Amino acid sequence: MAGEQVYAAAVCAGAAAWLTVGREQGLRRARLLLAGGGAVKASPWWAWKGVLPRLGLRREWLCVPVALVLAVLGESVLPLIAGVVAVPLVRRRLRARELRREQERRADGVVTLCGAVAGELRAGLQPGQALLFAARSTGVLGDADAGVLAAARFGGDVPQALREAAREPGADGLAGVAACWRVAVDSGAGLAAGLDRLEAALRAERDQQADLKTELAGAWSTIGLLALLPLAGLGMGWALGADPLRVLLHTPAGLMCLVVGGLLETAGLCWAGRIVRQGGEP
C-alpha cells in the first residue's frame, strides 16, 4: 500500500511538472502574440512562493525538507547531506535567473523610454525636459541612472551619462539613445525621428529574441522531463514491491550506482543545457 502511494505521488509530481512546462510555453506564445499590446505576466500558482518570503525563507531552502523526507524514507543521512549541499547551488541558479529577468526588464524599459521621449519631444518639450518627464512617467531610470537625470536637469553631458548607464546589463540600447542625442545636438537633426527608428530596431530585436525563446521552450521541456526520469524509476520500483532507496543507500553496489548515475545525470543535463543555451545566443 505504501509503495502504491509513493508511486502515485511520483506520477502526480511528474504531471505537475509537465503542466508547469506547458503553461510557461503558452505564456511565451502569448507574449509573442501580444507584443506591444501590454505585458503578459505569469501569476504564481504554487502556494509556497508567497508563503516562504513571509516566513523569511527563500525558495532554495525547499531542498532541505525534500531531502529530509527522502532521508526518513531511506533511513539514511545521505539525502539530507545532499539537500544541504544543493542549497547554495540552487541559490546560484535562482539568482542567475533573477538577473536574466532583470536584464530583460531593463531592455524593455529602454524601448519604452525611447517611445516616451519621442512623444514628449513631439508635444513641444525640450530634449532635457522630455527625458526627465519620460523617465518619471515610465520609471525606467532609477537610482542607478541618477547621473542621466542630473545631466538632463542641470545641462550636463547627457550622451556621456547615457553611455555610462548603457554599461548595465540589458541597457545597451541607451548607447543608441546617446548616439541619437549627440547627432541631434551637433547637426540639428530631429531627435524624435532618430528615437523612433531606434525604438523600432530595439523592438524588432526584442521580438526576435522572444521568438527564439519560444522555439527553445520545447528543448527546455525535454531537459526537464529527462531530469525527472530517475524519480519515475524510483516510483516504478516502489510500485513493483521493491525498496530502491534501501538498495541505493545501504548496499555497496547501490551506492556505486547512485554515485555513477548521479554524475552521468548531472553531466547529461549540463551538456544538454549548454547546447540549448548556445542555440539561444544572439
Per-residue pLDDT tens over the stretch 44-90: 444 445 555 555 567 778 888 888 888 888 788 888 888 888 888 88
Instruction: Indicate the pLDDT class of residue 23, thresholds 50, 70 and 90.
Output: very low
8 Å CB contact between 146 and 117:
no
Domain boundary residue among 164, 180, 204? 204
Instruction: Return the pLDDT at 17.
Output: 43
Long-range CB pairs of 258-265 (<8 Å, 24+ gap) are 261/230, 265/227, 265/230
Instruction: Report the alpha-carbon distance of residue 272 to residue 277 in Å, rounded.
Output: 9
Which set of grid coordinates corresponds to residue 221?
Answer: 521541456
User: Is the pLDDT assigned to residue 39 strictly greater than 60?
Assistant: no
Task: Please choose, from the candidates 171, 20, 180, the residue with its C-alpha nearest in 3D space to the C-alpha of residue 104.
Answer: 171
Instruction: Return the pLDDT at 37.
Output: 40
Which set of grid coordinates corresponds to residue 66?
Answer: 525534500
Pair 191, 270 in one domain: no
The residue with greater pLDDT, 174 or 3, is: 174
Residues 6+ positions from 262 with CB-CB distance below 8 Å: none
Instruction: Return the pLDDT at 93.
Output: 87
Give the domain range for residue 180. 106-204
Instruction: Report the alpha-carbon distance of residue 115 to residue 206 in Å, rounded.
Output: 15
Question: What domain count does the chain have?
Answer: 2
Give the pLDDT mean for 207-233: 88
8 Å CB contact between 218 and 24:
no
Which set of grid coordinates corresponds to residue 170?
Answer: 540589458
The residue with greater pLDDT, 1 or 241, is: 241
pTM above 0.75, yes or no: no
Which set of grid coordinates corresponds to residue 169?
Answer: 546589463
Is residue 75 in a domain? no
Give the pLDDT mean for 201-218: 89
Pair 188, 214 in one domain: no
Domain boundary residue among 177, 204, 231? 204
Give the pLDDT mean for 152-173: 84
8 Å CB contact between 135 and 124:
no
Instruction: Report the alpha-carbon distance of residue 127 to residue 130 in Å, rounded.
Output: 5
The residue with greater pLDDT, 30 or 281, is: 281
Instruction: Report the alpha-carbon distance of residue 168 to residue 170 in Å, rounded.
Output: 6
User: Is the pLDDT assigned to residue 20 strictly greater than 50?
Assistant: no
Instruction: Indicate the pLDDT class of residue 204, thresholds 50, 70 and 90.
Output: very high
Please give the single-letter amino acid code of residue 119: G
Is residue 198 in a domain? yes
Instruction: Return the pLDDT at 230.
Output: 87
Instruction: Return the pLDDT at 26.
Output: 47
8 Å CB contact between 235 and 7:
yes
Instruction: Report the alpha-carbon distance of residue 165 to residue 148 in Å, rounded.
Output: 7
Pair 197, 220 in one domain: no
Q: What share of the chain in percent tops pLDDT 70?
A: 75
Pair 198, 256 in one domain: no
pLDDT in tens, 111-158: 988 998 888 888 888 888 888 888 777 666 655 567 787 887 887 888
Q: Is 116 exposed, middle or buried (0-12, 13-18, 19+ CB in 10 A)?
A: buried
